[in-house]
Every structure is written in C-alpha cells, then in structure tokens.
C-alpha cells in the first residue's frame, strides 16, 4: 500500500500555547486585547518601581490641582497624585479577580463535570441549589459576607470565586453532557477504567477549552463586580489605591475636577475591554463560538 | 430530441486554503439531466457528490465558491441568480430531499400543517384546494389513512414514514427536478426497499427528473437510468446503469464493485487499497493513480480527460479503459474465507438472557420487584465456540446491539446467565467483573469518530488498554503500541496523529488496534463497517479476518447488512423485536428454508445489479414493542399460519443442516412454499 503522508512533528505543550497565542494575535481585535492585557499586567507588577509620588501622601495645599507637568493627571481632594494612584489602582483588583477566577474555575469546573457525569437525581438537586443561589442578588450576599468577615483579600478572593463559579458549573455540565454520550466514554467504561481515570483522561481534555473560555469571560465580570464593591466602600480599604474607590471618592467633584474620575474610569474600562477581547480571541483560537453570549 | 432539464457546464467549485491556495472540490463537471430521467450520482465521502447536488439547486456552501462554469436551468445560470429569483425555483421547480429527512421536519408542527405550508409557499392553491391536495400527496407516497397522518407530529411516525412525508413535501410544488441526498441511508433494509420502490413509481408516474446522490450502489442500481461515478471531485464514469454496474470500464468503479459484499458471493470481497486523496493534494496526473491496479507511468504525469466511448454510450476518464472492456466477471471470485476449525471449545454461553428497558417505578425498586412481563429482549440462548464468528442480524429495534452491550456489561440483563470460558459466570454489573474478564471481552464501535477521543493521539488511544491491563510504561509501552499498530497495517508515524487527521478507514483501524491491544478472547463488533466508505469497508473486513486467523479471536458481529454478514460470519442469529427467530450456520441461513422474517430480510437486500430486484413480501410497518404472547413476528408475517401464531410461542425446529428456526409452520412446508415462488 502506498501512502502519501505528510510527516508532522508532535507538538509540545509549549508550542501549542505559542500557536494559540499567535492565532489570537492574528486578528486585530485579539491583538488589541492582548496588548491591553499585557500592558495592564506589566503595569500592575512594575508600577511601584516608578510611581512618581507617594500614593498616600496627603497635602491639603495641593487639593484638586489640574493636570500639570508635575502631576500628570492632577491631584484628588486630599491632594494625592492621581497618576500615581491610577497606575497602582489596578493591582489589588487584578490580583483578587485573577485568583478569584481561578477558584471559580476550579470549583465550577469540578462540580459541573461531576453533575454532568452522574446525571439523574443528584444532578437535578445540585442544579436546583445552584439556581436558587443564582436568584439571590450577589451583591447583597457579598455585602453580607464582607460585613461579617471583613474586606481582606483572604475573604474577597474565595467569596468572589464562589459567586462567579455558578456560570462555570453550567458550562462545564453542558460540555460534559455532550461528551458523556460518546462511544469513547462507553468504550473506556467497558474496558473497566475507573471514574477518576475517565474524568481525567476522557472528559477533561474535551471540556477543558469550554471551561477555560468561560473562566476568562467570568474574569471580566468579576473585575466589574469587585470594582462595584470598592465603589460602595466594601472592596479595598483606604488609603490603598483602587479604581472603584477612586471613582466613588471623586465622582461628586466631577464637574470641576473631572481628571480625578476620568483616570480610574479609563483604567478600569480599558482592562475590562482588554480581557473581553482576549477572551473572545481565545475562544476563537480554540474553535469555540461565543458570539451568542457576549459578556457585560 | 430529449428535453434537457438542467445542464452543467465546466463547473468547478472550491475554497481558498489557509495558505491562500485555491483548492477545487469539484473539477470541471459537465453533464446534463434530461426530462424524466433518473440519474444516480455515486461516490464516497469527499468525492464532491453532495457539493454537486447542492449546486444543482443553486446553492454553494459557506466557505466555498464557484471557480468557473455554470449550472443552467431554463437558460439561466442558477448559480448567478439573486436570492429572490432563486426562491421561485427552489422548492418549486427544483426540490431537494435532504439526508435524514426526518430531522428536517419541524418537530412541533403537525404533518398536515407542514405540507400545507409547503403548498402555500410553492403553489397558488386556495385553502380548500390545498386540503384536498394534502390528502392526495399523502396518498401518493402511500401513507395509510392520510387524515390520521396529517394530524400527527413527526416524532409519532417511523423513519420510513417520515421519509415519505419529506417526499410528499418535495412533491408539493410539482418540481421538474427532484434531488435526493442519500434518501435511504439510515433506514431499515425493508423500509429502504419500499421507499425506493415508491420513488421509482413516482418518477414514472409524474415524469419528474430525479437525481439520487448516494454511496450505496445497491440503492442506485434499483432506481437509476443513468449513473455518474465521482472520484476526488471529478466525473470518472458516466453512462447507462447496466453498463456502469455490469461492465465498469473505469478501474475505480471496477474495484469498487468488486469490494462490495454480495449475497451471490461467498466469502470476503476483494479490498481496495488506500483511500481517496484529500482535495488539493493531486497536482498532476490521474487522481486514482495511487490506488489503481492498471496504472502506468503516463498516468502519473498526464491527466486523463473524460472520453466518450460510443459503443457503450459511456464517458470515461481513464487512459487504459480498453483493458477493461472485455473483462468479465471471471475474477470476481471471492477471496479466501477461513473456515472455522471445528473445535468444540465453548467460550461464551448466553442462557435465557432477558433485558428490559422499562423504567421501574420507585416503589418497585424499593421492593426489588421487577415487573416487566414483556421485556425488550427475551429468552436469548446462544452458545459460542472459540474462534467462531457469530453474527447477530436484524433491523432497528431487534435488540442486537442491546445483547452486545449486555455481554460487555454495559447494560444489566434482567434475567439469565452469561458464562465465559465454560464455567466462569460474568456478573451483569460491570463494576463487579474481574479485570481479566474485562480484558477478555473488547468492543469495537460503529463510528470511529465517536469511539476515539478527539483529543488523544493514536499513541494515547492504543496505550490505554496496555497500561490498564498490562501495566506497561516507558519504552516497553511504546514498542508494544508500534507492534499493535503494525498488525492493523498502520506505520509508526501514526503515533502522534489525532483522529481528525486520519481517514475513516484509518480511524477504524486504530479502533481495531485498541481492541486487539488487550489480547482479547472475544471481540464484540457493533456495526463496525456501516460508517465506512464502501472501498474501505472491505479492507476492514479483511483485516478482521486476518487478525482472527492470527489470534484465534472470537467475534460477535452485529450488523444490519446481510451481505456483509454473509461474507464474514460462520454462524448467523436472526433477531426480531428482541426474540431469536433463526440461528444456524451462515450457508444454510442464507438458503431456504428460512424463517419468514429472514425471508423478508433477504428479499429486501439491494444488490448492486439493476436486474436483481428486491422482493417486497411484507409491509414495512414498524412495531413499537414486541407482542405480549405468541410469535414475535406475527404483526408483519407474510406467511401467518393462523390464530396459533398469536397465542403460542412457536417451537424451535432444526433442519438437517443444523439450522434452527422458530416458527409454527413445519420446516418442510416452509421449504416447499419458499422454493415454489
Ligand atoms: S488513467 Fe491510469 S491511473 Fe488513472 S484510472 Fe486509468 S489506468 Fe488508472
Ligand atoms: S410462527 Fe406464525 S407468525 Fe411467526 S413466523 Fe411462523 S408463521 Fe409467521
């Protein structure tokens, strides 16, 4: 038998990641998203090194200065440098929501796969409970948790992770349902593989992409949620700079000191847009169509 | 002078690859469809036949575009028409019945409403006239009591009835041209024969031109006047049905016909090597060169043109077609069929197995009471010897796959015992089965696309049983995988490939390799060839046969295809509604006397020969569930004896060849009746 076969090299995980990223960057929207995201992450990591002023130095004599060569984005009502506070203001938000999303991904994914796999009554009951949770306004629940346990990151990360994992449960469950009926699962069962092996080897590789895309999407939602909490004064405690808090503090003075509001708004919205565009490009690069359910 | 309905001129359709190359799926197709003519377009998956059929409706799939050429209907090129103009033609003048017609019906609308909708769209009838027309159409497609059918929802009809409704809807606009995409694929054998016969009748009756697109030469043979054979996006043969099927002068068609299992042959058909090239890979020369037994050097460099052979009234694309002109059937003699060595070494004993799908009520579950007097599968008693190939045949609902699954432990049998290797009882609970028994019984599934994890490489797939049962790892594991792949004729370079990078036949080979890696004693094959292309099917059958010789494996082979079963099996068990009807050595099951159901099944087989017509002895009604008492086949039996069939379960009778039949009619009477007509 003569077979004309193009030889292909096996791909390492690293080269797969490189391939996905280069596919993402091949569309303008994906490229823009990636650039924004990378920019924000770099900024969050490195900004303390070059922040021009002390973010908590209060100077009543410098109250509400307009942007100048010394204070690029002006100063706020306590005379603090808005530029410094803006470039530092994403750090907490990014860290909290990143780890929050990770937690959401883990428990949401695990529970979703479990429900999809066992099906039947247990699945029904769990999904009902999830639905019940969904019907509670999350912000109320968050306020309750925060007022009981405080606003430290140790509280915020798992709390946010918990609330934003619900959507991932649904996605993971649906994806598992699709896979579970396939003959390769039946085949693994008939061979005598255990449940753990079936989940790990057969199901996970097929639902991973959908779950990761959903996680990326949840990230931008969570960022918005976290900033809302800060805005209400339940996120980050002063004087730590945070966009939500900065917007909240400066919004009353918007008519004459717009710079103090615009800078954090720009920071927050550009990051959300960046994550969204990246998540979209990520989904497309993995071949998952998200066009039917755009976030925010 | 014949009236032309549609003329296709130099049509090429293709897409632009990621690298920016233009790749053709259809290459320079030219043909005409005459009025009242029925044309069959045959080809395997990827031959471009469906693209061609869609183009005939003025439709080009998303991502594809017309490179050149035209498709002329009433002196207009329908490929250049605006949507508005096309609306007047599609459905009205050119109608299509898609594959899986049942799924194309809207599930929540009544049949009558849907046909009315089609009439409103495609005709100018008033409401009252439409009502009359609905009954007329349903009558025309021979649906019993149209008034009742019109009030039903699609899911309340059987597959065959849904197909008929789809035909009725397509006929609503009295089209000039009717396109049918695999119209009978997925239907049961008997239903298939009935639907084709109906379509034949409609074609004659209304003078509608029809174009059948199919991979099934048996179906094409029954309905077509003319056949077009496609390969790799080209027409390779185009001529009258008898010439094409009886004297195929193109090497591809010649090989294809030899690779189809037929009832008139014994043993396995010859297989064809290789598979169809991917679009865009053939730059010059004949696209069949790699697989052709008649190839010469010139074929590699020069591309053959379609040449008209006037004495056969056929067009052919081959330099060497003359070599095939006189070639008669002399070498269609079948290849070796390894007869089972008669070792009376029982490996599996299925006794009194019943399986029930009925859901138990909660309270009954609590009381551990199983209350189903009429289970889906009942009283199955089969003993299987080592090294034997036993086939289970029957239509959908016969319980053949259910039995297979219960042997594998995937479905719990309600009653009965399955013993492995003489005396070891297999638990009906998979979790309680000994690992060694799990290893001993392996399954191969129908569709490798479903049975191979798309995210695993071939190496990972084949490694699973090796790791699980033998605990292999590292280099030892790798060597073993390579060894197993070699057995299914796949080279080492397949290790790193994913299923999507393989052809259908290669994928099924990987599935076979995975099963054999476990060193099983028994392999359960569930319709293993039905998802494959014809030319690949024979190769897989031959492979299974060779492996059996090498390893002495026992096969239990489930199939709806009686010709395939005849080719591969030593013994056949015929099932109807979960009850055994007949079981015996395959030579004698295929000979009379047969159980009346076997007779119906055999009669309905479509042979790729226009002169062998199927015998339609029984109605193709579908029964929802087995009768409470009496013979399972009483509802459709063409030889119904009388009241006794409805009340008493028929006894087993054995003829001199060891063929056991379960019927009230005396075996000799059956023989006389069946041989007399
Ligand atoms: S042209 Fe040559 S390679 Fe092509 S089918 Fe004919 S003999 Fe075979
Ligand atoms: S027992 Fe009666 S119904 Fe059954 S197959 Fe024989 S004749 Fe037909």
Q: Is A151 exposed, middle or buried (0-12, 13-18, 19+ CB in 10 A)?
A: middle
pTM, whole model, 2 decimals?
Answer: 0.82
Calculate how close chain A gets to B453, using CA atoms only, in Å. 6
| Any atom of ligand 1 within 6 Å of the Cβ of B299 | yes
Judge whether B6 and B208 are in contact, CB under 8 Å.
no
Calculate how close chain A gets to B592, using CA atoms only, in Å. 38
Minimum-distance CB partner of A182 among B438, B450, B501: B450
Q: Is B471 on the interface with A (CB under 8 A)?
A: no
Question: Which ligand ends up closest to the CA of B232?
Answer: 1
| Any atom of ligand 2 within 6 Å of the Cβ of B634 | yes
Report chain B residues whose CB lies below 8 A from the CB of A198.
none
- Give this complex's ipTM: 0.77
Taking alpha carbons only, the member of A271, A273, A245 closest to residue A260 is A245
Location of structure tokens 């014994």: B266
d(CA B382, CA B389): 13
Cβ–Cβ below 8 Å for B493 and A7? yes
- Taking CA atoms, what residue in A is nearest to B464? A188
Cβ–Cβ below 8 Å for A4 and B290? yes
Taken in order A61, A63, A67, A70, the sign of the CA dihedral is positive
Taking alpha carbons only, the member of B612, B616, B562 closest to residue B590 is B562
Q: Is B445 on the interface with A (CB under 8 A)?
A: yes
Judge whether A227 and A209 are in contact, CB under 8 Å.
no
Please give the number of the atom of ligand 1 that sits closest to the Cα of B321: 6
Structure tokens at A192: 């005598």
Structure tokens at A56: 């908590």
| All structural domains of chain A | 91-296 (1.10.3720.10)
Q: Is A63 on the interface with B (CB under 8 A)?
A: no
Which residue(s) pair with B354 in the sheet? B415
Sheet with B4-16, side-by-side order of all strands = B22-34, B4-16, B65-73, B76-77
Mean pLDDT, all residues of chain B? 85
d(CA A123, CA A145): 27
Contacts with A98 (C-beta within 8 Å, 6 or more apart), sequence order: A219
Q: Whose CA is nearest to atom 1 of ligand 2?
A: B663
Judge whether B515 and B553 are in contact, CB under 8 Å.
no
- Is the pLDDT score of B592 beyond 70? yes
Calculate how close chain B gets to A117, using CA atoms only, in Å. 16
Give contacts of A 116-145 with B, CB under 8 A: none
What DSSP letter does each residue of B488-550 carry, written as one string? TT--GGGTT--GGGS-HHHHHHHHHHHHHHT--SEEEEESTTTTS-HHHHHHHHHHHHHHHHH
For the ranges B323-332, B344-353, B647-656, which has the lowest average pLDDT?
B323-332
Taking alpha carbons only, the member of B5, B59, B58 closest to residue B36 is B5
Q: What is the pLDDT of residues B375-425, one digit of tens each?
A: 888 888 898 988 899 999 988 878 888 899 889 888 888 888 888 887 788
* Ligand 1 mean position, distance from CA B251 (Å): 7
Calculate how close chain B gets to A258, using CA atoms only, in Å. 49
Q: Is A147 exposed, middle or buried (0-12, 13-18, 19+ CB in 10 A)?
A: exposed
Per-residue pLDDT of chain A (296 residues; tens, 9 = 90+): 334 444 445 567 788 888 888 888 888 888 998 999 999 888 888 887 887 777 777 777 777 777 777 777 777 777 787 788 888 888 888 888 999 999 999 999 999 999 988 888 888 898 898 888 777 887 888 888 888 887 777 888 888 888 888 889 988 998 998 888 888 998 998 888 888 889 988 999 889 888 888 888 888 888 888 888 888 877 777 777 888 888 887 777 777 777 778 888 888 889 999 998 888 888 888 876 554 443 33
Question: Which ligand ends up closest to the CA of B581?
Answer: 2
Q: Is A3 on the interface with B (CB under 8 A)?
A: yes
Minimum-distance CB partner of A183 among B274, B409, B447: B447
* Ligand 1 mean position, distance from CA B270 (Å): 19
| Any atom of ligand 2 within 6 Å of the Cβ of B49 | no
Please give the number of the atom of ligand 2 that sits closest to the Cα of B634: 3
Structure tokens at B510: 């990987």
d(CA A147, CA A125): 30
d(CA B404, CA B558): 8
d(CA B493, CA B178): 46
């Amino acid at each position: 038998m003569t077979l004309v076969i193009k030889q292909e090299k096996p791909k390492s995980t690293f080269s797969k990641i490189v391939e996905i990223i280069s596919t993402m960057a091949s569309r303008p929207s994906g490229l823009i998203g990636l650039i924004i995201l990378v920019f924000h992450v770099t900024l969050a990591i490195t900004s303390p090194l070059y922040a021009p002023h002390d973010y908590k130095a209060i100077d009543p004599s410098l109250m509400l200065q307009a942007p100048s060569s010394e204070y690029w984005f002006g100063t706020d009502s306590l005379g603090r440098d808005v530029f410094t506070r803006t470039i530092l203001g994403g750090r907490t938000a990014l860290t909290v929501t990143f780890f929050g999303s990770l937690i959401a991904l883990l428990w949401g994914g695990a529970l979703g796969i479990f429900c999809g796999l066992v099906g039947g009554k247990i699945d029904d009951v769990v999904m009902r409970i999830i639905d019940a949770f969904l019907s509670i306004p999350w912000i109320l629940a968050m306020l309750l948790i925060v007022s009981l346990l405080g606003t430290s990151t140790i509280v915020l990360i798992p709390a946010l992770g918990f609330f934003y994992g619900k959507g991932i449960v649904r996605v993971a469950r649906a994806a598992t349902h699709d896979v579970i009926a396939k003959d390769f699962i039946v085949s693994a069962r008939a061979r005598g593989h255990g449940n753990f092996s079936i989940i790990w080897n057969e199901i996970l590789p097929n639902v991973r992409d959908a779950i990761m895309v959903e996680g990326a999407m949840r990230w931008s939602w969570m960022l918005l949620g976290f900033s809302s909490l800060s805005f209400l004064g339940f996120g980050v405690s002063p004087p730590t700079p945070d966009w939500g808090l900065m917007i909240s503090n400066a919004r009353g003075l918007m008519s004459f000191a717009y710079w103090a509001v615009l800078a954090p708004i720009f920071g927050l919205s550009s990051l959300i847009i960046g994550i969204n565009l990246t998540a979209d490009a990520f989904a497309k690069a993995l071949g998952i169509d998200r066009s039917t359910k755009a976030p925010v | 002078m014949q009236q032309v309905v549609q003329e296709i001129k130099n049509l090429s359709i293709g897409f632009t690859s990621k690298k920016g190359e233009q790749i053709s799926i259809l290459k320079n197709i030219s043909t005409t469809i005459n009025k009242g003519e029925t044309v069959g377009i045959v080809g395997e998956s990827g031959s471009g036949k469906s693209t061609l059929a869609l183009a005939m409706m003025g439709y080009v799939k998303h991502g594809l575009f017309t490179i050149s050429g035209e498709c002329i209907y009433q002196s207009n090129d329908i490929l250049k028409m605006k949507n508005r103009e096309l609306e007047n033609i599609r459905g009205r003048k050119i109608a299509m019945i898609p594959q899986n017609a049942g799924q194309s019906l809207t599930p929540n609308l009544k049949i009558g409403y849907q046909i009315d909708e089609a009439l409103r769209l495609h005709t100018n009838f008033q409401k009252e006239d439409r009502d009359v027309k609905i009954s007329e159409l349903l009558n025309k497609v021979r649906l019993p009591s149209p008034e009742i059918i019109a009030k039903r929802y699609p899911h309340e009809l059987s597959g065959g009835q849904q197909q008929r409704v789809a035909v009725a809807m397509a006929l609503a606009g009295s089209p000039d041209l009717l396109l049918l995409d695999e119209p009978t694929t997925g239907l049961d054998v008997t239903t298939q024969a009935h639907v084709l016969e109906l379509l034949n009748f409609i074609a004659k009756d209304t003078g509608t031109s029809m174009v059948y697109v199919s991979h099934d030469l048996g179906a094409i043979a029954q309905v077509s006047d003319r056949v077009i054979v496609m390969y790799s996006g080209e027409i390779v043969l185009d001529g009258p049905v008898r010439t094409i099927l009886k004297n195929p002068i193109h090497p591809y068609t010649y090989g294809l016909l030899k690779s189809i299992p037929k009832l008139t042959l014994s043993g396995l058909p010859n297989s064809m090597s290789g598979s169809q090239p991917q679009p865009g890979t053939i730059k010059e020369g004949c696209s069949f060169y790699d697989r052709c037994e008649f190839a010469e050097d010139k074929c590699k460099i020069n591309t053959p043109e379609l040449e008209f052979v006037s004495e056969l009234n056929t067009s052919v694309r081959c330099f060497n077609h003359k070599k095939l002109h006189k070639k008669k059937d002399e070498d269609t003699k079948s290849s070796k069929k390894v007869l089972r060595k008669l070792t009376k070494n029982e490996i599996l004993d299925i006794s009194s197995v019943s399986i029930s799908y009925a859901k138990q009520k909660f309270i009954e579950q609590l009381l551990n009471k199983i209350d189903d007097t009429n289970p889906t599968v009942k009283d199955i008693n089969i003993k299987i010897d080592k090294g034997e190939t036993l086939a289970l045949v029957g239509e959908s609902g016969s319980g053949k796959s259910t039995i297979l699954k219960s042997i594998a432990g995937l479905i719990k049998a309600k009653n009965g015992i399955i013993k492995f290797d003489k005396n070891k009882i297999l638990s009906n609970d998979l979790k309680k089965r000994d690992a060694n028994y799990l290893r001993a019984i392996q399954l191969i599934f129908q569709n490798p696309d479903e049975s191979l994890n798309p995210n695993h490489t071939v190496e990972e797939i084949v490694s699973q049983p090796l790791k699980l049962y033998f605990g292999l790892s590292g280099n030892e594991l790798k060597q073993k995988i390579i060894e197993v792949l070699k057995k299914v004729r796949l080279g080492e370079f397949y290790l790193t490939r994913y299923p999507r990078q393989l052809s259908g036949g290669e994928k099924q080979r990987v599935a076979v390799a995975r099963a054999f890696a476990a060193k099983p004693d028994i392999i359960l094959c569930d319709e293993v060839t039905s998802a494959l292309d014809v030319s690949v099917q024979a190769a897989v059958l031959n492979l299974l046969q060779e492996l059996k010789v090498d390893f002495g494996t026992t096969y239990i082979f489930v199939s709806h295809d009686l010709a395939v079963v005849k080719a591969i099996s030593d013994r056949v068990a015929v099932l109807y509604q979960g009850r055994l009807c007949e079981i015996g050595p395959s030579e004698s099951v295929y000979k009379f006397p047969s159980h009346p159901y076997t007779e119906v099944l055999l009669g309905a087989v479509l042979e790729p020969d226009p002169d062998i017509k199927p015998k339609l002895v029984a109605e193709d009604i579908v029964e929802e569930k087995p009768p409470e008492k009496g013979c399972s086949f009483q509802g459709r039996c063409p030889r119904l004896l009388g009241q006794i069939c409805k009340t008493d379960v028929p006894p087993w009778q054995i003829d001199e060849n060891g063929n056991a039949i379960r019927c009230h009619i005396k075996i000799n009477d059956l023989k006389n009746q069946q041989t007399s007509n």
